[in-house]
Structure 1
């Protein structure tokens, strides 16, 4: 008689486009061979990334209205917690894995209520100032009650070790989606395109790239910004005001991201804060010569400055402009970055990272 597979479930707000959502999809597809895998989302959404048909998606609510007060927020989250708990009970889940602050807190509490282990995964800069105080307080109180806190870099581990009294903090990087890996090609016809990918928000700072292009006054290069988010209108206005509409384009909801990784010649990443930059890793995996800001966490784990890409100081616009100019003009440097970036990225293949997750899950089951 075969042993029945243990049942694990990820917990996240929704399966929209985004880094954490991509990681959950990639891990679910990799873990479904060894476990019965479910994804519990707070609200219903069509999964943006491909999911193995054996992965079960369970939504707590059709939709969720944004609360207008702190009491509304507490009430809503208590309702979500109760719903997640009942799903865990009905589905007979053996272990819960939370992703991102609010889902981590709800996953930990739901696991405690059902007397099962929980792993939580923190994806953001731990010193980020815009997390509501309510969640910061809860994080301090609830996180240590989870069985393991998974972070993406050693630097983040050090900060959480000082911030929380958690007995088990583990570093696991993000995996590259195997679906993406399969779409790489050896023979690529690169075009004169500078690419950036990321949510259009204050952390990603796409305006820095737009202003750099304005300074460089490039003849025959184009810039493609892929992403959606609250700053889209602001960025489009900036492009218009600088008369760059014929040079810079913003695209949202792009499913075939690999086509852009294959067409572009340079990837520029201008974040001021990161947890672990998926888009940068993917660009390197596709052999794109990359320039990234050296923000607190992530880029310096991936790029060795001058070897497989350039790291530039976060607020130094002059060096950003200078490095873009240098890469545009130096084909040999582009080739060397391309080769080395692919090599670096192979440490993060889905298979390697999924194996590490499997080991941790088994330790707690």
Structure 2
């Protein structure tokens, strides 16, 4: 048998940058899990120091050192054409055998770059497919380009059903997100819980952290603190809301937190108030750390993880009174908190890095 037959296949992930975030965490976890079976490269649109740990054997290549935000449609088209040219060139020079895109714009670039190089492409859609704030330019391209990829990977059966009716795609596969193995290793059996309500997520209109702030204001909680971890465009607005309700001593917003496990270990309750999700990494991580969770039952994700009343509470989106009621109930019931904690850990074990990475490996190998 020749040496070439032993040579590992070269795969590359494509994403905007390796900043803090759910998709970035998943790419890092998958890359670390796949490195023994494949030669792994991550192609980013712009240079950024990887926020999550990467195995030293993983190569990261950036298209550009920095990218200025385009000010017009023409500017956006020109920028994305230049990114496509650069990704196509990197794929050729690195002799990549298969491309994997993450998030809409990277999915489109990855599919087109793969076509130009005559190699297969997998694309991974992370968002609510019916989100209203995706620019029309990308919606049109999504409909035209996605079917040209070899496999569209989504995170839940509900999302698959929507894309099946929306796109003429020959192959759509459901693969959930893995829990980072690095994070799993930091979990301790005995946690010293404090009177902390925690939420983790990007500070944007989808995550609706204002709902939690208003619920805390209504509950007038004695001795409890609220920690909101995340960064994003709504940070100032949320801080202003906290100040206007005189809750600055009780609610704190933290950004760029590397030791997220410490917060999962010391909080007593996790509250997730999203109105739209693809698959909620933070909720899964909180459950993995045994946090009793309350989540809105938004379209995709939470109901895949939580069975209401068994391993957490699901509350209707935008029903503030039920959110308040469930937070109050969980705070007052230690027995229920303990039950949710045990059951949440049990549920989360279906999503360990090893189990999910194995599924990804099988899908990747189908295309060689």
Shorter-chain TM-score: which interval?
over 0.9
Q: Residues of 2 paired with 1:125 and 1:198: CA distance?
A: 15
Which residue matches 1:258?
261
1:11 aligns to 2:14 (yes or no): yes
**Aligned pairs, how many?**
365
How far has the Cα of 1:116 moved from its partner? Answer: 0.1
How far has the Cα of 1:160 moved from its partner? Answer: 0.2
Encode CA deviations 1:46-69: one digit per residue, 9 max, x unaligned.
Answer: 000000000000000000011111
1:20 aligns to 2:59 (yes or no): no
Which of residues 111, 116, 126 is equivalent to 1:113?
Answer: 116
Encode CA deviations 1:152-181: one digit per residue, 9 max, x unaligned.
Answer: 000000000000000000000000000000
Encode CA deviations 1:87-132: one digit per residue, 9 max, x unaligned.
Answer: 0000000000000000000000000000000000000000000000
1:86 aligns to 2:86 (yes or no): no
How far has the Cα of 1:221 moved from its partner? Answer: 0.3
TM-score computed with the length of structure 2 as normaliser: 0.99
Q: Residues of 2 paired with 1:94 and 1:28: CA distance?
A: 15
1:231 aligns to 2:234 (yes or no): yes
RMSD: 0.5
- Name stretches of at least 5 consecutive residues in structure 1 with no aligned partner: none
Structure 1: which 4+ aligned runs deviate by more than 4 Å? none
Which residue matches 2:283?
280
- Name stretches of at least 5 consecutive residues in structure 2 with no aligned partner: none
TM-score computed with the length of structure 1 as normaliser: 1.00
Encode CA deviations 1:304-360: one digit per residue, 9 max, x unaligned.
Answer: 000000000001000000000000000000000000000000000000000000000
Which residue matches 2:72?
69
Q: Residues of 2 paired with 1:218 and 1:107: CA distance?
A: 49
How far has the Cα of 1:40 moved from its partner? Answer: 0.1
What is the 5 A alignment of 1:233-252? 233-252=236-255
Which residue matches 2:147?
144
Aligned residue for 2:355, secondary structure, equals helix
1:122 aligns to 2:125 (yes or no): yes
Which of residues 153, 163, 167 is equivalent to 2:166?
Answer: 163
Q: Residues of 1 paired with 2:224 and 2:89: CA distance?
A: 54
Encode CA deviations 1:247-277: one digit per residue, 9 max, x unaligned.
Answer: 0000000000000000000000000000000
Which residue matches 1:343?
346
How far has the Cα of 1:240 moved from its partner? Answer: 0.4
Which residue matches 2:309?
306
Q: Residues of 1 paired with 2:69 and 2:252: CA distance?
A: 31
Q: Residues of 2 paired with 1:171 and 1:251: CA distance?
A: 33
How far has the Cα of 1:25 moved from its partner? Answer: 0.1
1:292 aligns to 2:288 (yes or no): no
Which residue matches 2:181?
178
Q: Residues of 2 paired with 1:68 and 1:163: CA distance?
A: 30
